[in-house]
Amino acid sequence: MTDQSTPAVSSSPVPRQSGGGDSARAGVSRRRLLGTAGATGLVLGAAGAAAGYASAPAGATPLTSLGAGRAMFHGKHQPGITDPLQSCGHLIAFDLAAGAGRKEAAALLRRWSATAEHLMAGEPAPHGDTGVARDAGPSSLTLTFGFGRTFFDRTGLQGQRPAALDPLPDFSSDHLDKSRSEGDLWVQIGADDALVAFHALRAVQKDAGSAARVRWQMNGFNRSPGATAHPMTARNLMGQIDGTRNPKPSDADFNKRIFVPAAGEPAWMAGGSYAVVRRIRMLLDDWEKLSLTQQENVIGRRKADGAPLSGGTETTAMDLEKTGADGSYVIPVNAHARITRPDQNGGAAMVRRPFSYHDGFDADGAPDAGLLFICWQADPLRGFVPVQRKLDRGDALSQYIRHEASGLFAVPGGAAKGEYVGQRLLEG
């Protein structure tokens, strides 16, 4: 975890656009169907179920803003990087099946891209749609695809493997489960409706067919849009406002820090980014024994509003030199927020876009809960690694968290219309 927040991107819903010929083949979108339900009651009864995605009559009630939100599949960058945090998330990694190589991988990425394009538009999956999300709109669904280090060995593309995919160094807080780490292929799914998110997860898993098998899968959540009186930085399961200094797309150097430049290496990664994925368990039983003052000193910010202990509001710059009556720093030298500041790490920066998780309780009653940490940067050796090394050397938060799984993935740029994600790598 670091002291950075989600990019300030408008949360206004994007109107659904026509799907053209694809829409005609697939039927009417989930969004239009919900309008029909709002106007006329239950549409898919015994007869309607056979018709699948039914036509919406004129004057149908529109979706709420939550369901109408739509992210674009095609673009310079893949979705799910700068889009606002969604309330539901799934992370899933695959290994290519024995005997599957470059040809099978290309066919799989072609299937996945077609599925993502349809589902993100609020349309049924092109192959064997399950009907799980037929009542909902796009709900800000995003699907993001990446390649792990081992993918290049399995497909004979070792010469195209980026140097940035070199293994991450070991860290003192690592207690990694190898079976839940890394993978040939990685998919990030996010949506503001749990059924829409699961629908996408199931479609991706079904599309894998015999070409790839699931290596690991994790489920996450965030606060739902509209749950607070006004937009706020998210809180994590420790109750802290989690992340206040994320780079913003409006920053002059945002693209340089987060995305691989057009002239970067390798060429197929132009417009792409590197995702570091960490399952970070929070030792909540220990954390909750601390007093409010102790918790705030660990983080370096007030729990109520995220303001630095040196004063001001959440967005006020920290005064790292401010001292109290006893002469000690108001923000302790080992406070998490102090250590993770970019100006304390040679300017290292990354976009954090995490989900919280809860996977039940241990035999002793301790919750298996924490953060699915996902950060994005143009180069992990200049983003995640220097910050994590600094945390390793004395972060007060380290005794209350444990890194239990890890992955590093090359996420290529977005697909142009008519392309699939990764095509420049697999057909280059």
Distances from the Cα of 35 to the Cαs of 63, 64, 107, 140, 225, in angstroms?
6, 9, 35, 17, 21
> Which residues, 6+ apart, have CB-to-CB distance to 208 below 8 Å?
94, 108, 214
Residues 242, 285, 286, 364: which is the catalytic one? 242
Distances in Å between the Cα of 284 and the Cα atoms of 88, 220, 384 are 22, 17, 24
What one-letter code names the amino acid at 33?
A: L
The three-class DSSP label of residue 19 is coil
- Does residue 242 carry a catalytic annotation? yes
Beta strands in 283-338 (DSSP E): none
Angle, helices 194-208/102-120, rounded to nearest 10 degrees: 160
Phi, psi of 407 (to 5 degrees): -155, 150
Residues 9/82, Cβ–Cβ less than 8 Å: yes
Output the six-digit token pair for 286.
């220990």
CA distances to 47, 259, 269, 405, 410 from 162, rounded to whole Å, are 54, 14, 8, 22, 8
Tokens of 30: 């989930």
Q: How far apart are CA 2 and CA 299, in angstroms?
A: 10
Do residues 298 and 337 touch, judged by C-beta distance below 8 A? no
Query: In this structure, what are the phi and psi dihedrals at residue 360, rounded to the nearest 5 degrees?
Result: 95, -155
Q: Which residues are catalytic?
A: 242
